[in-house]
Copies of this chain bind each other. A is one copy, B any other.
């Protein structure tokens, strides 16, 4: 889906370049603060700036990889790229970078702009992100505007490039820059040490450079102007890079130099790339791929093997601290190479039960309301204006002014499924409330519905059931088919190791705990019975029950959050990353109710019976959350629901 042709104008410094020059050492200073630790899980990995992370990993010999992407051409492409960020982020890249796409209005708010894609990777996918920026054909002022915007969005790293002149003739923009060196100087001049700056290196010399030596001198100039590290243009032989590295060191370039790895993924893309970058493909490679040029799979397999072999030599040299991959926005080849190198993180350790944002302001954040567990991007969006994030506890500090969520069209909030697919999953035509119960039940059971389609998502859950929720699958299935429409739940956990593959999070050697939680929509009739039943479970069970108008029934204190997930770790304070917070619940309920209409009802014609059924549920059902405080015992929440059904049935029988 990611348009391959974009390679021509989207691959930024991969296929194009800047020309610049010479001399001394980089600015890789550590910015360690000696103040008291401000949050129990705030590892250096979360607080350090990129160059410090590199420094630490170089010191400890812990090799890293990074991934380069280009901005997509369509909104749909953006939605898909964001999902790819989530999937590839799981493998543990040290950073990703997004190329600057001059033809694509790169600094704008369009969902396909370089700026927006980089911001989304950082803010919504939690990835350390490097934004490319080019200086040719742009005024100084325009560049400063872009940089200010990047800073405002939380971006802290730049790849400073010259970029390509438009057309054949090279013409300096009036009041602009001719060289990446000038851009680096400008960034340092205007923003001092705020940004970490990367520059490009050319192992075989920049195509426009006078000669290799001259090009090395340009590179040294860029570093001396304030660049922190170097990523190289692609190359086909490890010795090309190693010689370049040696030459860089010889003239006094001491910052990290990362080889750009390009796994060959197809005959056409290679040809195009080579043409643009004016590189020579070595005979030994040509000799292999020419005969198989029509066999995509064979070429890709060859590309993987070739990249793996080259990376092994590079890593084996002891001179290469990390590998930079030109992904061409594709997953398979790069992941395969990384897997074969043993660098792909197969067992992602979560620092917290939810995905942490990489925005500098949010780095201390370590507690969130549980309600947005399946909609973390919406939570980030609605809290992006907060000046401070709850750190350690959900207390006074977080007087929650949630932003409105009317922007269901935003690409990072949008469902990955098109309308047609949604209708196939949720029903072309709904007959009654029971039809809706079945959709929920099919989602839980992961069995195909009547029309043979699996229900892979719901308006409240854009992904299939989480592994953890799977622990509750049988019970969830039973209650959903009877009209307890669950949208969020977690089992109780009484001290499992923090390394547990399903429920674990945080550093090793700790223990994680949870209170059982269940959140669902259900009818007025059920709620009436439930309220009677809940009296028996006081004070063990806390509940909040609310309808779309905000009528709120609860036995919990008004302002008191209830911690429902916490962890105990060696040498640390307690971490309690999720809470049931009565105040935020009222913001969440607006969103939860609105999703019925925005994501589901609107699939159908106005006035259609299907739409009216969803509208009826929206108008009449209650949103309920239940917490079983007695986490060491077996959860009583299923019994609560069972008792509720019993009471409803006995009332019905009495009525008869």
A412 close to chain B: CB less than 8 A: no
Q: Are B557 and A563 in contact (CB under 8 A)?
A: no
Restricting to A373-391, which residues have a CB under 8 Å from any CB of B? 391
Shortest 9 CB-CB contacts between residues of A and residues of B:
A570-B629, A37-B559, A392-B393, A36-B559, A563-B573, A38-B396, A574-B576, A562-B571, A542-B571
Chain B residues within 8 Å of A631, by CB? 511, 568
Given A40-B393, A395-B38, A540-B509; A556-B571 close (CB under 8 Å): yes
Q: Which residue of B35, B395, B542 is within 8 Å of A396 (Cβ)?
A: B35
Q: Are A509 and B539 in contact (CB under 8 A)?
A: yes
Q: Are A632 and B495 in contact (CB under 8 A)?
A: yes
Q: Are B572 and A568 in contact (CB under 8 A)?
A: no
User: What per-residue 1/0 map shows which CB atoms of A49-74 lie under 8 Å from chain B?
Assistant: 00000000000000000000000000
Q: Are A563 and B559 in contact (CB under 8 A)?
A: no
The CA of A95 and the CA of B571, in the complex, are separated in Å by: 39
A403 close to chain B: CB less than 8 A: no
Chain B residues within 8 Å of A39, by CB? 395
A513 close to chain B: CB less than 8 A: yes
Q: Which residue of B559, B570, B632 is within 8 Å of A542 (Cβ)?
A: B570
Nearest-Cβ distance from residue A635 to partner chain B, whole angstroms:
14
Nearest-Cβ distance from residue A452 to partner chain B, whole angstroms:
45
Restricting to A1-56, which residues have a CB under 8 Å from any CB of B? 34-40
Nearest-Cβ distance from residue A500 to partner chain B, whole angstroms:
14
Q: Are A579 and B573 in contact (CB under 8 A)?
A: yes
User: What per-residue 1/0 map shows which CB atoms of A556-592 lie under 8 Å from chain B?
Assistant: 1101111100101111111010010001000000000
Q: Is the interface of A mostly helix, strand, loop or mixed?
A: loop
A394 close to chain B: CB less than 8 A: yes
18 contacts between A and B (CB under 8 A): A35-B396, A36-B396, A36-B399, A37-B560, A40-B393, A392-B392, A393-B393, A495-B495, A509-B629, A509-B630, A540-B570, A557-B571, A560-B573, A562-B571, A571-B629, A573-B576, A574-B574, A574-B576
Q: Which residue of B561, B572, B583 is within 8 Å of A573 (Cβ)?
A: B561
The CA of A557 and the CA of B35, in the complex, are separated in Å by: 12
The chain B residue sitting closest to A38, CB to CB, is: B396
A269 close to chain B: CB less than 8 A: no
The chain B residue sitting closest to A562, CB to CB, is: B571
Chain A's interface size range is 35 or more
Chain B residues within 8 Å of A511, by CB? 631-632
Number of copies: 2
Chain B residues within 8 Å of A394, by CB? 573
A494 close to chain B: CB less than 8 A: yes
Nearest-Cβ distance from residue A378 to partner chain B, whole angstroms:
23
The chain B residue sitting closest to A33, CB to CB, is: B559
Chain B residues within 8 Å of A561, by CB? 37, 572-573
Task: List 14 additional contacts besides A36-B398, A392-B393, A562-B573; criterion CB under 8 Å.
Answer: A35-B559, A37-B559, A37-B560, A40-B393, A40-B560, A392-B395, A393-B573, A557-B571, A561-B572, A563-B572, A563-B573, A566-B574, A571-B627, A571-B629
Q: Are B557 and A37 in contact (CB under 8 A)?
A: yes
Q: Are A571 and B566 in contact (CB under 8 A)?
A: no
Chain B residues within 8 Å of A562, by CB? 570-573
Interface centre among A35, A39, A495, A629 (most CB of B within 10 A): A629
Q: Are B576 and A571 in contact (CB under 8 A)?
A: no
Restricting to A605-640, which residues have a CB under 8 Å from any CB of B? 627, 629-632
The chain B residue sitting closest to A629, CB to CB, is: B570
The chain B residue sitting closest to A567, CB to CB, is: B574
Q: Which residue of B494, B540, B542 is within 8 Å of A495 (Cβ)?
A: B494
Q: Which residue of B37, B494, B539, B568 is within 8 Å of A566 (Cβ)?
A: B568
Q: Are A563 and B570 in contact (CB under 8 A)?
A: no
The CA of A576 and the CA of B556, in the complex, are separated in Å by: 21
Restricting to A485-527, which residues have a CB under 8 Å from any CB of B? 494-495, 509, 511, 513
Nearest-Cβ distance from residue A110 to partner chain B, whole angstroms:
39
Q: Are A395 and B495 in contact (CB under 8 A)?
A: no
Chain B residues within 8 Å of A392, by CB? 392-393, 395
Q: Are A395 and B559 in contact (CB under 8 A)?
A: no
Nearest-Cβ distance from residue A517 to partner chain B, whole angstroms:
13
The chain B residue sitting closest to A400, CB to CB, is: B36
Chain B residues within 8 Å of A566, by CB? 568, 574
Nearest-Cβ distance from residue A574 to partner chain B, whole angstroms:
5
Chain B residues within 8 Å of A399, by CB? 35-36
